[in-house]
Structure 1
Amino acid sequence: MSELSITTTQNVKINFIAASIGARIGSYFIDLVIKSSYILVVAFVLFYFFRFDRVFAGLDVWSRRAVIFIICFPVLLYSITLESIFEGQTLGKKLLKIKVVKIDGYQAGFGDYFVRWFFRLIDISILGGSVALVAVVSSKNSQRLGDMAAGTAVITLKNKINISHTILEEIGNSYVPTYPLVIKLSDNDMRIIKETFLKAEKKNDHEIIYKLVAKIESVTGIKKQSGENSDFIRVILKDYNFYTQNM
């Protein structure tokens, strides 16, 4: 499985693991079973309960094809509809915890799902999916042709990097920042600060934390208010996240 590095709109790189071939094939067959079950149920209801077989037998060839097309139409739109509703997941992908994402860090939209859906004709319908299989195995980001055209990739959610592994900090909607001068720092500065702080805190190294606070003050002009050095750094991280999200 290859690792994908996705850059968010805040220039933060988050690494994901590309979905395995097995997971992608598994989700495809789960979706196939769901779609096949739908057709069987609809056909059973029409022909058994409503005796549609008599009407169907009296239709000409084109009318029969039209009826079959109407019955199968939801199946044709299955993947693009569910991926649009569930933000990159069909029922099969949900069960196997994989998802379609944009490789530029933005949320995939309907246009991206449409491109992927359109290329299914080449990727999957032709030659029994061998085109998609070869493309996924040989491409850098484990992409089939539809993914390459849409700028998307399929990732596993089982190994998704937690927010604590990035410079991002979870803050509530009512959060009030303390140090506006924190915007003098860059994403790289904050990444170094957070990594250094977490390591020092884990080792209970108060000297490193003290030096980190002094460095932040000298670079930004911020003066720490009363409180522990550790609390100060936590506030700095949250403030930076607040200002970069709202700029």
Structure 2
Amino acid sequence: MKPITQPYARLNLEFFLPEQIGLRPLSNWHMDLLGQWRAGKVFTWSGPILDQVDDKIGVQYIPHPTIKNNVRTKDFYSLDLRFSKKFKTQFGTIQLFIDVTNLLNLKFMYFEHPFIITGENPLSDYNDYMVSLHLPTKVFDDVEFYEYPYMFIPGNDQPGDYPKPNVEFVPINIVRGDYLLPPAVVMESRDPNELYYVYTNATYKQFIDGQWQNAEPGVVQHILDNKAYINMPDNIQTAFLNPRGFKLGIRISF
């Protein structure tokens, strides 16, 4: 299968104050802005990929024959800045500059990195992350509803999404019907904050005071708005590789 192209665009704006303006402290200043955009990568996702070593739920998934190139990672945006000033001396021209990369400090998840360079089981890490995303139903437009490769909560997530800063992970487990909600003896030892999503009636349940109840809408909305349900990879330090950076420099031309 041929890879799908990733369109991209670059915009460079240059502002400068010429030497002729007469105000020497302000002359020969240059400011360059470089903006970049790159469309996300397209790939195929047709459900968890489980091998013989990590067949943790007893089901062997294989790629779906008609689902191809159905998801795209988030687009990449960046804005860089350079300030520079030239001084003419008897020895030559001196240029002082400061570079600021990722000026707006946009946080971007390099989607593939944490799953390539990861801990004990990169496949499990990948599955857990992808399954936790609330993907739009259009990603499975090529199949009927009853052919969906796995149960998922519809939403607008894309690979590359992540929880908001300082948000604690809240797992949302999915069961097909109310009759499959775990019994009280199991839930007593579980995280009281976790939610269950009943697939057949699209309701959120929470185990409160020894019984299953509909989760408070405000609690659910807070979890959804903050994307607290996304199960991030263990090797998270390799996911965000583009923090804002500063560099000072000097260039001498003879």
Q: TM-score range by the shorter chain?
A: under 0.3
TM-score (norm 1): 0.21
Answer 1 or 2: which has greater strand percent: 2
Answer 1 or 2: which has greater helix percent: 1
TM-score (norm 2): 0.21
